[in-house]
Amino acid sequence: MRKNKSFTTQLIILGGFIIFFYMFFALAASIYRDYKLETQIDSFEEEINELAFLARKKPDDVAYFSSEKFKDRYAKESLNLLNIGEKVIIIPDEDQIVEKGPLILMTESITPKHVLSLPRRYQWWEYFFGNTLSVIAEPETSPEPVEGLEPEGNPESLDG
CB proximity list for 111: less than 8 A, separation 6 or greater: none
pLDDT, tens digit, for every residue of 96-135?
665 666 555 555 556 667 777 888 888 788 777 765 555 5
pTM (two decimals): 0.35
Q: Residue 106: enclosing H or E segment and its boundaries?
A: helix 106-109
Dist. CA 131–CA 105, nearest whole Å: 12
DSSP-derived letter for residue 85 is T
pLDDT digits (tens, 9 = 90+) for 4-47: 678 888 899 999 999 999 999 999 999 999 999 999 999 999 99
Q: Are 107 and 91 within 8 A, CB to CB? A: no
Taking Cα atoms as reference points, which of 67, 72, 91 lies closest to residue 82? 72
Indicate the DSSP class of residue 19. Answer: H
- C-alpha dihedral sign at 10, 13, 19, 24: negative
DSSP symbol at 143: P
d(CA 98, CA 18): 85
